[in-house]
Amino acid sequence: MSNLSDMAVMKETPLAQVYRVIEPGPVVLLTTAYKGRPNVMTMSWHMAMEFEPPLIGCVVHSLDYSFNALRVTKECVISIPTVDLASKVVEIGNCSGRDVDKFGTFGLTPIPAKKVKAPLIAECLTNLECQVVNTSLVKKYNLFILKVIKAWTDPKRKERRTIHHNGDGTFVVDGRTIDLKKKMTKWQ
C-alpha cells in the first residue's frame, strides 16, 4: 500500500476546511420575533433529521442576536430564498438584528405565520414554520432541533433555483437535474 503523502492523487485538506465539502444546501434565512420585533439571519449549517414530522437540526451561534430569540421564544421560520436574492442573503448574514432592522433595510416583506410569531418572508420560495423541540445540544454545540409544523410554497414563483454555500463566500446555483427515481427502490 502506498503512503498517502506520496500519492499524487490525494492532497491533504486542512481540517479547518472540511465543512466546505459537506456543507449542505440550500442557504436559508431564519426569522424570529423577539419582544415583538422581527429579525432574520442567514444560515447554511442545517440538516434534515426526519421525514414526518419533519425535523431539522441547525447551528445558530451564541453570538448571533437570533440565538437568544430562538432560545427564549422556541419558534422560528426557515425561509428558502432563490438565486435572485443571493446578494441580500449574504448582506443579511453580515449584519446583526442588534443594530439593524433587517426587514426594512433589505426590503423583505413579512407575512404573519399561522402557528408561530416569527414571520414568513414573501420574497422566498418556501417558508417553514418551526418549533424548537430539543435544546439538549445547544450549550455544547449551539445545535437546535426544530420541528416543522406548517410549510408554505409560492406556486407562482418563476425563479426556483436555490443557492448552496461553498463555505468561502462562493455559491453554487442549482443546475441540471438528473432523474434516478427508478434506482431509488428502497426509498420510493
Ligand X SMILES: Cc1cc2nc3c(=O)[nH]c(=O)nc-3n(C[C@H](O)[C@H](O)[C@H](O)COP(=O)(O)O)c2cc1C
- Does 90 bind ligand X (CB under 6 A)? Our answer is yes
- Report the alpha-carbon distance of residue 17 to residue 38 in Å, rounded: 33
Contacts of 89 (CB under 8 A, 6+ apart): 27, 29, 42, 81, 163
The Cα 40–Cα 59 span in angstroms is 15
Q: Is 27 in the site for ligand X (CB under 6 A)?
A: yes
Residue 64 interacts with ligand X (CB under 6 A): yes or no: yes
Q: Which of 26, 31, 34, 41 binds ligand X (CB under 6 A)?
A: 41
User: Nearest distance from residue 129's CB to ligand X, in Å?
Assistant: 18
Show the site string, 116-155: x = touches ligand X by CB under 6 A, - = not: ----------------------------------------
Report, in Å, the least distance between residue 184 CB and ligand X: 29
Please answer whether residues 162 and 124 qualify as being in contact, where contact means their C-beta atoms are separated by less than 8 angstroms: no
Verify binding: residue 97, ligand X, rule CB under 6 A: yes
Query: Is 118 in contact with 77 (CB distance < 8 Å)?
Result: yes
Q: Which is nearer to ligand X, 37 or 157 (CB)?
A: 37
Q: Closest CB to ligand X belongs to which residue?
A: 93
Of 185, 80, 92, which is closest to residue 128 (Cα–Cα)? 80
Piece in contact with ligand X (CB under 6 A), picked from 10-18, 79-87, 94-102, 132-140: 94-102
How near is the Cβ of 188 to ligand X at its closest, in Å?
Answer: 32
Judged by CB under 6 A, the residue of 49, 83, 95, 149 near ligand X is: 95
CA–CA distance from 48 to each of 2, 39, 57, 147, 171 (Å)?
A: 38, 23, 7, 10, 20
Output DSSP code: residue 22. H
> Judged by CB under 6 A, which of 26, 31, 66, 143 binds ligand X?
66
Q: Which is nearer to ligand X, 17 or 114 (CB)?
A: 17
How far is Cα 48 from Cα 119, in angstroms, rounded to an integer?
22
**Cα–Cα nearest to 75, from 118, 126, 128, 29:** 118
Residues that bind ligand X (CB under 6 A): 27, 39, 41-45, 59-61, 64-66, 90, 93-98, 165
